[in-house]
Amino acid sequence: MTELPRLPSKPRLTVFNVDESEMNVSLGQRWGPWRKGINLMKKEIFGEEQSAVANSKNDSAAETSINSTGGHGEVRPDRNSRQGSVIIGLDKEDDSRRFSMLWDSFKARKSIGGNNLALFEEPSEPFISSYLKGYTTPGPLEREKSKHAKAELGVMLGVYLPTIQHILGVTMFIRLFWMVGIAGIAQTFFLLFICCLCTFLTSISLSAIATNGVVESGGAYFMISRNLGPEFGSAVGILFYLANTVATAMYLVGGVEILLLYIFPGLTIGGTEVHSDTGLMGWMSHNLRFYSTILLLLEFAIVAMGVKFVQLFAPISLFCVILSIFACYAGGIEKTITSSDAQHVCMLGKHLLQARIVLPDDAPLSDICSYCNASVPGPLLNYFCPNGECSEMFVKNDLRCVNGFPGFGSNAFVDNLGPNYVGKNEYLRGKLADRNVEVFQDVKTTFFMLLAIYFPAVTGILTGANMSGDLKDPNFSIPAGTIAAQLTTSFIYFSLALVFGATINGAILRDKYGQSLRGGMIVANLAWPTEWLLLVGSFLSTFGAALQCLCSAPRLLQSIAKDDVIPVLKPFAKVTSKNEPFKGLVITIIIAELSILMGAMDHIAAVVDFFFLMCYAFVNLICALHSLLGAPNWRPRFKFYHWSLALLGAGLCFFIMFSTHWDYAIVSCVLCLVIYKYVEWKGAKKEWGDGIRGLALTTAQYSLMKINEKDPHPKNFRPQLLLLLSMPWSKELVDMRYLNLINLASQLKASRGLTIVVAFIRGNPLVIDDRKKAEEVKARMEFDMNQIRLRGFAKTLVYGETQIGGSVSTLIQSVGMGGLRPNTLLLSWPVHTHGSLCEAIDSEYHTFTDKLHAGVATDMCLVVAKDIVNFPVSAIRLSGTIDVYWIVQDGGLCILVAYLLTQSKVWRGCKLRVIAIAQEMDNNTKLQADLQKYVYQLRIDARIMVIELSDPKISKNAFERTLLMEERTRYMHEMYEIKGKLNKISPSILAEMKQNGKLNSDDNDTDSETKGKTNDKNDDDNEETPASSKEKVSSVKKGASSLEKMPSNHDEKRVTIAESKNETVGENNKDDRDKKFRMLDKKKVRKMHTAVRLNELILANSADSQLVLLNLPKPPVAKEGLDDYMHYLEVLSDKIPRILFIRGTGKEVITTYS
């Protein structure tokens, strides 16, 4: 929100509260002159329908509502303006900007010439001139809230120099020379090529991503999360945070190493003798932990004071690093000119001797050649010849003083070209060293170990992206500055490696801690004019780099927490009054201290590698993903990229990870996966238009195009469910039928098929309130599906009252895409109190028959759940049997559904029984054997039963039930005619007839909707004389009164034969009943007889079963027969608590083949 001056809380002020859809504005009494103008403006901008003015009885206030997008804000007169303008503040910047644009467009339309674009005069859309006038480049939240102007830095100060400062670090001074001595110049160049190529390709990918939109606070995290989604973004963001945090520890340990070994060795606890004791529990490691912790606390105090104090060290650190690099170049040239004056070392054959064994304690290092002599008494002779007899090693090898820094004119380049890998405690390959005398290696050296140690030296290329909020032109500065800085640092690394290899003796290069120079720093002895220039510069560079990491890591954590995708991190989203993430700083200090406890810098560097490499790999993957997908929004300003280069960069990242420490790589990947699944589990509700969704969309589109729209092979068949819901929706009441139906769908999810749930909402799709109700119903369905863990799609369809039949048919025909469309209709049995003909056209009963009819017509499989309220929810566990009554071969859908149910936790405890219905001519024994073999080949465990249905004689019960059905159908038709006639009578005539007693109060209330509907009729529909209307009422009076005699099936239980006589037939004359029996349709009687016999058979054999599955008889082609069909099914399922009617299409859906 644009900040407004604090206003006194008086009634005359204009204040409004905004919810998601409405902004209520109260205009104060003193600002009445602005009321009319604001109302006019609101009507013009938001439209006449969305602007309402309610004038109060007094002039104290007037209420106005404006449709807006949400937030809270203020409206007040502008005290600084004499023209009476109004300041309107909104919480969201987009809302404020849009309101400003609409206001500008409003003024333009009212000005002279403002009607030139009358054709495009849309109140809700601004003119392009107003849009561009109010457009501002979005940026970080910190920049939005800042009162200060943007820094508007260029390439040099904004990207190039900060990136160089971050890349160039302590590793370059204390490890690069050692790598040259161990790996040789050739392999060191190859190692540097791998590292620099990885960061160069990542810089290209970074440039493409950073110029494809504004990079806000969070830098790399923002780019990855907005392009790969909140899950991957959070995972890699956490790893990037850990990379910066652990890098803080690495820089501090490296700085302490310089401090104790080269600057103030006397501070070492235990003396200089413990400098080589670098094991996990060695004294040197303890020194590193102790002093690094002290420096960490000092940096904590500096960072806690604010970012301004941290920035004071940045130019000092950068200046020292650059000066130290030039000192190395100058030193190489100086040593070439004055090679004879360079520092020498003492060697015994190929053994490089420690200076402390050659020189007395009070002798300077420059006198080492004087004591490197077998004839001169000193520590050397005292060690090798203690009793006048010299050791074999001293006798067989020549003792000589060697120039350690011969310069470019020597053979050093040739001698250092090849590798010299050695093991731990060795001075040459396979030769152990005397640790008290010789220079030795404290770790086993390999190419990939050196690669792991040095890779952190090339990191830091993401600095420019983190600075995007302060750049004048990020689209130009980030690519130019980042790539230039990467190339510059790469040149520095290659050139320094060449200088070290061509000017320093190989044995000296392998002296990691400068033991041959009395603990002196090798590179410092090369520097010119003084070694202190490099010692102080390298130490300050480590201190400054640690400060930068310690400052940026808490802000990165705060950016992740602010997105609210990881609930655990929510407390770290808060900042202090000075906008400092203090809580994040505290947790960062704790993690950095734990990293310091690892001791050696080489160990910490290996951990830092993997966090940075994971981040770089995902940056490359983002670029490759977007390049291959070619989404319309992928329009980077930086054009010099290619998906192959991005994939190569990602491949290099993973290659370095798994080739150096495969165990660390696995841990990093597992950590990333754990964070990903955690965010996914907690529900990342952010929609950032990320590339993973784009990839999913492209993959889905490709897969859909590959799927044939023809019927799938039985091996590939799976029920793709379509649930159609036509029940009343209420916020207060929960319909258990709906919940149980989607629970049933979730219990069939073992099919791994598509599930679409569609709710029908009566209304007008053009009315916003009806659409809003549909969105609320959809949101509720999505919530319920998520709670039940039913993965699928929820949709709503708004229909007109008379459009339900067409809507159902259209939906079933059009739902799905290509070969991926529902093939199975899952329905619940309707609840209805009267026959179908007296119900509304969109009643649940009518809608059910429409769905049934449309499903059969479109050749879909049908699954109908009777008494769905009795079905279990997903939390219940059942045991018992599931009985499948296999009457007709419908392709095997019945047994397939039963098998899928047994894979659910709800039905897993139930045993499957397949019951075949045989007729008199069938061989029951052979039928059972054949069915047993068939089910066995289907690889389904089930018990087989064969039951014979052998009573051809039609029972009296069947006749009675058929007669009851016929009587009910006749009454329904009569009531349908009555309803049609009553709808045509004017309401005034009905009222008059009722008042005169000519019409009972119940006669015109047969249908509760009649009164409401007649009020909506046009005058043309009611053009009847009062006399004719009265006659019609009189003529239907008898038929209307017969409604009370109509049988009801409200409790869905059939009446007994005696009750049917009294209530339906109403006669005691047996001859009349027999006559009616003879007049019944024989086909209907036979169907009823089958329903009665099957019901008796099921109740006899499956009374204790948890579920009965039964073939659904084929519905009639004509809708006129659906009422009788429904009656058959009610008789068939009578008194069965849970039953599923299953109907396949006749095509095979299950096969015995693999």
pLDDT in the model for residue 292:
95
Count of positions (residues) in the chain: 1154
Q: Which of 356-360, 802-806, 1102-1106, 1128-1132 has the lowest mean pLDDT?
A: 802-806
Q: pLDDT tens-digit profile of 441-497? A: 988 999 999 999 999 899 889 888 877 766 788 888 889 999 999 999 999 999 999
pLDDT in the model for residue 132:
57
In this predicted structure, the answer to whether residue 322 has a pLDDT above a threshold of 80 is yes
CA distances for 1068 relative to 1056, 1057, 1062, angstroms = 16, 13, 8
With cut-offs at 50, 70 and 90, classify the pLDDT of residue 9: very low
**835 compared with 66, residue with greater pLDDT:** 835
pLDDT in the model for residue 901:
93
Percent of the chain with pLDDT strictly greater than 90: 29
* Distance separating alpha carbons of residues 226 and 623, to the nearest angstrom: 12
pLDDT in the model for residue 29:
36
**Cis? peptide before 230, omega within 30° of 0:** no
**659 compared with 95, residue with greater pLDDT:** 659
- Positive or negative CA dihedral for 319, 320, 325, 329? positive
* Distance separating alpha carbons of residues 458 and 535, to the nearest angstrom: 21
Residues 6+ apart with CB under 8 A from 75: 14, 15, 16, 25, 27, 38, 86, 87, 88, 89
3-state secondary structure at position 540: helix
Q: pLDDT tens-digit profile of 373-404? A: 888 888 888 888 887 788 888 888 889 999 99
* Distance separating alpha carbons of residues 1110 and 1091, to the nearest angstrom: 12
Q: How far does CA 370 lie from the centroid of its chain?
A: 71
Angle among Cα 629, 630, 631 to the nearest 5 degrees reads 95
**Short-list 642, 314, 638, CA closest to 477:** 638
What does the DSSP assignment read for 2-67? ---------TTS-EEEE-SS-EEEEE-GGGGGGHHHHHHHHHHHH-STT-EEEE-SSTT-EEEEE-
- By CB atoms closer than 10 A (0-12, 13-18, 19+), residue 119 is exposed
**Short-list 353, 619, 325, 361, CA closest to 497:** 325
Q: Which CATH number fits domain 719-826+838-850: 3.30.70, 3.30.1490, 3.40.50, 2.60.40?
A: 3.40.50
pLDDT in the model for residue 964:
63
pLDDT in the model for residue 88:
45
What mean pLDDT is predicted for residues 96-112? Answer: 56
pLDDT in the model for residue 497:
96
Q: How far does CA 594 lie from the centroid of its chain?
A: 31
pLDDT in the model for residue 116:
57
pLDDT in the model for residue 136:
46
In this predicted structure, the answer to whether residue 151 has a pLDDT above a threshold of 50 is yes
pTM > 0.75: no
**Short-list 198, 203, 120, 123, CA closest to 159:** 203
Residues 6+ apart with CB under 8 A from 549: 244, 245, 247, 248, 251
In this predicted structure, the answer to whether residue 1006 has a pLDDT above a threshold of 70 is no
877-950+1081-1154 shares the fold of 719-826+838-850 = yes
| Token reading at 212 | 């494809």
In this predicted structure, the answer to whether residue 579 has a pLDDT above a threshold of 80 is no
DSSP secondary structure letter of residue 763: S
In this predicted structure, the answer to whether residue 1139 has a pLDDT above a threshold of 90 is yes
Percent of the chain with pLDDT strictly greater than 70: 70
With cut-offs at 50, 70 and 90, classify the pLDDT of residue 692: low
- By CB atoms closer than 10 A (0-12, 13-18, 19+), residue 1103 is exposed
What mean pLDDT is predicted for residues 515-542? Answer: 90
* Distance separating alpha carbons of residues 449 and 760, to the nearest angstrom: 65
In this predicted structure, the answer to whether residue 64 has a pLDDT above a threshold of 50 is no
What mean pLDDT is predicted for residues 641-665? Answer: 94
* Distance separating alpha carbons of residues 301 and 1128, to the nearest angstrom: 84
What mean pLDDT is predicted for residues 764-787? Answer: 90
* Domain spans of the chain, in order of start: 15-136, 155-336+442-660, 719-826+838-850, 877-950+1081-1154, 958-1008+1030-1079
**741 compared with 937, residue with greater pLDDT:** 741
**954 compared with 483, residue with greater pLDDT:** 483
State whether CATH 2.60.60 applies to domain 877-950+1081-1154.
no
CATH of span 155-336+442-660:
1.20.1740.10
* Mean of pLDDT over the chain: 76
pLDDT in the model for residue 310:
75
pLDDT in the model for residue 1088:
80
pLDDT in the model for residue 682:
72
Q: pLDDT tens-digit profile of 425-446? A: 898 888 888 888 899 998 899 9
Q: pLDDT tens-digit profile of 24-35? A: 333 333 334 444
**340 compared with 328, residue with greater pLDDT:** 328
Q: pLDDT tens-digit profile of 726-750? A: 877 777 667 788 899 999 999 987 7
pLDDT in the model for residue 8:
38
| Token reading at 468 | 């995007």
Residue 243 · residue 219 · CB < 8 Å: no
* Distance separating alpha carbons of residues 214 and 144, to the nearest angstrom: 14
Q: Which of 61-70, 104-113, 942-951, 1120-1129 has the lowest mean pLDDT?
A: 61-70
Q: pLDDT tens-digit profile of 246-285? A: 999 999 999 999 999 889 988 989 887 788 787 778 888 9
In this predicted structure, the answer to whether residue 1061 has a pLDDT above a threshold of 50 is no
* Distance separating alpha carbons of residues 508 and 514, to the nearest angstrom: 8
